[in-house]
Amino acid sequence: MKRQVLLLISIFCLSAVIGQVSYSIPEEMVKGSLVGNIAQDLGLDVKRLKSGKARIYTGDSVQYIELNRERGVLIIKEKIDREVLCRQTTPCALHFQITLENPLELFPVTVEITDINDNVPVFQKRERGFEISESAVIGSKFMLEKAIDPDIGLNGLQRYTLKPSDNFLLKLHTQSDGSKKVEMILQKPLDREKHEHMSLVLTAEDGGEPQMTGTMQIHVTVLDANDNAPVFSKPVYKASVTENSVIGTLVTKVSASDADKGSNGEVTYVIGNSMDTVSKLFHINSEGDVILDGPIDYEKEKNYHIDIEAIDQGGLSDSSKIIIEVVDVNDNRPIVNMISTSGSVPEDSAHKTVIALMSVNDPDSETNGKVNCAINDNIPFEIKFTSNNFYSLMTDSDLDREISSHYNITVTCSDEGVPSLSSSVTLTLQISDVNDNAPVFERSSYEAYIVENNTPGLSIFTVRARDADWNQNARVSYILEDSSVNGVPVSSYVSVSADSGVIHAVRSFDYEQIKDFHFRVKAQDGGSPPLSSNVTVKILIQDQNDNPPQVLYPVQTGGSLVAEMVPRSADVSYLVTKVVAVDVDSGQNAWLSYKLQKATDRALFEVGLQNGEIRTIRQVTDKDAVKQRLTVIVEDNGQPSRSATVIVNVAVADSFPEVLSEFTDFTHDKEYNDNLTFYLVLALAVVSFLFITCLVVIISVKIYRWRQSRIMFHSNLPVIPYYPPRYSDTLGTGTLQHVYNYEVCRTTDSRKSDCKFGTAGSQNVLIMDPSATGTMQRIQSEKSILDEPDYPLEVRK
């Protein structure tokens, strides 16, 4: 150490004497490069260098430069790096001495090392990351790393650049030590949603030639902030759902996007309608599926407007709307309402008479609600669309109650949906009767038979007419039409029961007076106006053997005497006389036969059975009496037969005086006397009987009146009203009404009967009987008790 310090002092002293040599070389010269010709610069001969054993003295320092003694030059021995040698010191120089011996000389040499740009600016780390919230405010500062460039001066670090420079600016602050602080300043807001990651390149440049740069990667990660509200994909969503869809049906899907990340971007959906109906019918899940929650009925609501909201975790939201159209399904049958119906229409109603009005409604829409109505076939009605869902039911053709008294009209309304729905209503329409049918007799004409001598009031037979109408319009009354029979009104012959059509004989007919007659019966219904028809009834009277034969010859005179003369010379089979008789009856009843009933001498005369001729059957002899008396009976062939007797006086004489003397006692005939006596006795008996009867009747009446007056005095018994005779026969047509009034009197012998048809007023018998036939039967039974023979009633068809 002591030596070195001494040396340094001596060098200093020497150089001060000899002068100084300096060189300037750039750093990094290759080995062997020439630094300078030191021999020349020092003014020394090369030989001197050799002889003086010139050498470089650097002390302890590294020897970068060596001396070439042969050439007397300094050359680079070791590569010199200025930055190692001097760092930032400037100027940078190598100081050494060249020493010579013999004589000892010292020459200081200074070699200045100049900088060359051999260093690149270098960042300590190749990259750097930042996490910056997007909500960072403008002006926020971020410290960056400095670069290092060991070169100095221009070759040293000159400036920084940051690229891209969209969001950040570089700012350099010169610090007190001369170094620079590099800061990155936010000049434009970050948006994670646009650029979540940014790569910046920070470049450090020096000023050398050529320029050298160093770079560093800066990675900026933008951290999310809830700066974005969710956004629905559409302002309005449209969807449709068919009615009656099952609960749980997905109606539509909505989506809202949130540009934010993580929880800031998590969206939940809410139905905003506070209206209950909507929120009860739909719900929306976290995926944005709108799901049906309740029953949907097109007929109640045709569309729904749902306000929806999307909310992120940060509370930001967006709203949108869903319009849900309800699609109709044919789920409603048409409803048929009868607005007014007439339960019945008259059968003569005009065509197109409206019988019912109905309204038809189908709440479905379009074809599902389009309704067509029809009625069942084969009925005389039609249905017509009037207007606006109204239909009218009207008659289409003629109605006839007699064919169909009611109709079941089924109105079927069906819509046009697929499948179609329908409903029907049945209406029962009564057809009310109109008097459009006249009564019709069962036969076009009638013929009836009645045996003469009938009981008055006897029912002959019944006519019947039918009326196809109903009730009152079909109530047939029978009326006897006025006409005359032999100049007498027909009503005095027959009567017709108005209700039953029973034809009664009013009088007892006599075949011998009238054999037949005809009249018309009218059947009239109870309609208004009434309709009628008529029929001809022919009554044929049948003969009865009610007339005895009448002897026309010989004439029966009371007192005078007629006798037939038979000469005694008369031969066998001499025609004495001929009994001539007639019978007004007809047929068998008028077929007469003659018989000899009594004769003075039965062996002398005979009567022709058929012709009534009286002839002798033997020769008249002288012994035969002059006075011959024959009783001839004339009988008819009726059942029972009737007869008449005639007395024929025959005088068997040759001269008239002879006859006279014999016939004086003829008038006092024994037989005649017998008859007279019989009649006298009978008359006496009848008179006595009548007297006693009258006496009994008078006494009975007296007693009855006395009792009656006492009862009337003490009680308030109802007075039996008095009806005038034939009171109900007001029309006087001879038609029998409900009341019959007969008095029938008969003796046991009808041949000598005396019958009076109930003369009015003789006795008041009031028979209130609703059915005429009842009364009639009663009369008939009376008759059969009274009459010995039963007259057959014959109605020939």
Ligand X SMILES: *[C@@H]1O[C@H](CO)[C@@H](O)[C@H](O)[C@H]1NC(C)=O
* Strand segments (E) across 20-91: 21-26, 34-36, 55-57, 65-68, 73-76
For the bound state, the minimum distance from the C-beta of residue 439 to ligand X, rounded and expressed in Å, comes to: 12
For the bound state, the minimum distance from the C-beta of residue 377 to ligand X, rounded and expressed in Å, comes to: 12
For the bound state, the minimum distance from the C-beta of residue 243 to ligand X, rounded and expressed in Å, comes to: 36
User: Is residue 400 a contact residue for ligand X (CB under 6 A)?
Assistant: no
For the bound state, the minimum distance from the C-beta of residue 481 to ligand X, rounded and expressed in Å, comes to: 6
Residue 778 is inside which H or E element, if any? helix 772-786
- β-pairing, 197-206 vs 157-163, is antiparallel
Q: List the x/- string, 698-737, binding to ligand X by CB under 6 A.
A: ----------------------------------------
Please identify, using beta-carbon distances, which residue of 231 and 379 lies nearer to ligand X: 379
For the bound state, the minimum distance from the C-beta of residue 536 to ligand X, rounded and expressed in Å, comes to: 9
For the bound state, the minimum distance from the C-beta of residue 504 to ligand X, rounded and expressed in Å, comes to: 21
The residues, ordered by sequence, that sit 6+ positions from 363 with a Cβ below 8 Å of its Cβ are 299, 332, 369
Tell me the number of residues near ligand X by CB under 6 A.
4
For the bound state, the minimum distance from the C-beta of residue 718 to ligand X, rounded and expressed in Å, comes to: 45
First to last CA, the chain: 193
For the bound state, the minimum distance from the C-beta of residue 697 to ligand X, rounded and expressed in Å, comes to: 50
The residues in 409-428 that bind ligand X, with binding defined as CB under 6 A, are 428
Rounded Cα distance between 712 and 705, Å, is: 10
Please identify, using beta-carbon distances, which residue of 270 and 440 lies nearer to ligand X: 440
Rounded Cα distance between 501 and 483, Å, is: 18
Q: List the x/- string, 556-585, binding to ligand X by CB under 6 A.
A: ------------------------------
The residues in 134-153 that bind ligand X, with binding defined as CB under 6 A, are none
Q: Answer yes or no: are the C-beta atoms of 616 and 566 closer than 8 Å.
A: yes
Please identify, using beta-carbon distances, which residue of 483 and 764 lies nearer to ligand X: 483
For the bound state, the minimum distance from the C-beta of residue 682 to ligand X, rounded and expressed in Å, comes to: 54
Q: Answer yes or no: are the C-beta atoms of 433 and 385 closer than 8 Å.
A: no
Look at residue 724 and give its three-state secondary structure. coil
User: Is residue 227 a contact residue for ligand X (CB under 6 A)?
Assistant: no
The residues, ordered by sequence, that sit 6+ positions from 547 with a Cβ below 8 Å of its Cβ are 512, 583, 584, 585, 589, 642
For the bound state, the minimum distance from the C-beta of residue 408 to ligand X, rounded and expressed in Å, comes to: 4
For the bound state, the minimum distance from the C-beta of residue 405 to ligand X, rounded and expressed in Å, comes to: 9
For the bound state, the minimum distance from the C-beta of residue 430 to ligand X, rounded and expressed in Å, comes to: 11
Please identify, using beta-carbon distances, which residue of 224 and 525 lies nearer to ligand X: 525
Please identify, using beta-carbon distances, which residue of 402 and 416 lies nearer to ligand X: 402
List C-alpha distances in Å: 787 to 8, 407, 454, 459, 795.
Answer: 211, 59, 10, 16, 21
For the bound state, the minimum distance from the C-beta of residue 593 to ligand X, rounded and expressed in Å, comes to: 49
Strand ranges of the sheet holding 445-451, from the earlier edge strand across to the other edge:
445-451, 532-542, 516-524, 477-480
Encoded tokens for 790 = 């039963």
Please identify, using beta-carbon distances, which residue of 428 and 693 lies nearer to ligand X: 428
Find, among 33, 742, 35, 114, the residue nearest to 458 by Cα: 742
Q: Answer yes or no: are the C-beta atoms of 342 and 355 closer than 8 Å.
A: yes
Find, among 445, 632, 470, 457, the residue nearest to 552 by Cα: 632
For the bound state, the minimum distance from the C-beta of residue 404 to ligand X, rounded and expressed in Å, comes to: 6
Please identify, using beta-carbon distances, which residue of 249 and 428 lies nearer to ligand X: 428
Strand ranges of the sheet holding 344-346, from the earlier edge strand across to the other edge:
344-346, 422-432, 406-415, 371-375
Cα within 13 Å of Cα(143), Cβ side:
4
Please identify, using beta-carbon distances, which residue of 429 and 551 lies nearer to ligand X: 429
Continuous H helices in 19-100: 38-42, 46-51, 82-86
Rounded Cα distance between 511 and 585, Å, is: 8
Rounded Cα distance between 782 and 776, Å, is: 10
Please identify, using beta-carbon distances, which residue of 340 and 408 lies nearer to ligand X: 408
The residues in 334-373 that bind ligand X, with binding defined as CB under 6 A, are none
Please identify, using beta-carbon distances, which residue of 290 and 356 lies nearer to ligand X: 356
Encoded tokens for 49 = 């260098």
Please identify, using beta-carbon distances, which residue of 412 and 534 lies nearer to ligand X: 534
Rounded Cα distance between 222 and 133, Å, is: 5
Find, among 39, 181, 208, 191, the residue nearest to 121 by Cα: 208
User: Is residue 747 a contact residue for ligand X (CB under 6 A)?
Assistant: no
The residues, ordered by sequence, that sit 6+ positions from 638 with a Cβ below 8 Å of its Cβ are 544, 545, 585, 588, 589
Q: Answer yes or no: are the C-beta atoms of 508 and 453 closer than 8 Å.
A: yes
The residues, ordered by sequence, that sit 6+ positions from 475 with a Cβ below 8 Å of its Cβ are 467, 525, 526
Please identify, using beta-carbon distances, which residue of 218 and 521 lies nearer to ligand X: 521
Please identify, using beta-carbon distances, which residue of 314 and 439 lies nearer to ligand X: 439
Please identify, using beta-carbon distances, which residue of 429 and 776 lies nearer to ligand X: 429
Rounded Cα distance between 244 and 326, Å, is: 10
Rounded Cα distance between 521 and 538, Å, is: 11
For the bound state, the minimum distance from the C-beta of residue 302 to ligand X, rounded and expressed in Å, comes to: 40
Please identify, using beta-carbon distances, which residue of 193 and 481 lies nearer to ligand X: 481
For the bound state, the minimum distance from the C-beta of residue 472 to ligand X, rounded and expressed in Å, comes to: 21
Torsion sign over Cα 651, 652, 656, 658: negative
User: Is residue 408 a contact residue for ligand X (CB under 6 A)?
Assistant: yes
For the bound state, the minimum distance from the C-beta of residue 340 to ligand X, rounded and expressed in Å, comes to: 21
User: Is residue 481 a contact residue for ligand X (CB under 6 A)?
Assistant: yes
Please identify, using beta-carbon distances, which residue of 379 and 625 lies nearer to ligand X: 379
Backbone phi and psi for residue 557, each to the nearest 5 degrees, phi listed first: -110, 155
Please identify, using beta-carbon distances, which residue of 76 and 535 lies nearer to ligand X: 535
Amino acid at 287: E
Please identify, using beta-carbon distances, which residue of 175 and 428 lies nearer to ligand X: 428
Dihedral over alpha carbons 658, 659, 665, 670 (to 10 degrees): 130
The residues in 428-447 that bind ligand X, with binding defined as CB under 6 A, are 428
User: Is residue 534 a contact residue for ligand X (CB under 6 A)?
Assistant: yes
Scan for tokens 């719900």, then name that residue.
283
For the bound state, the minimum distance from the C-beta of residue 450 to ligand X, rounded and expressed in Å, comes to: 24
Helices and strands per DSSP (H, E), number in the chain? 8, 53
Q: Which residues bind ligand X (CB under 6 A)?
A: 408, 428, 481, 534
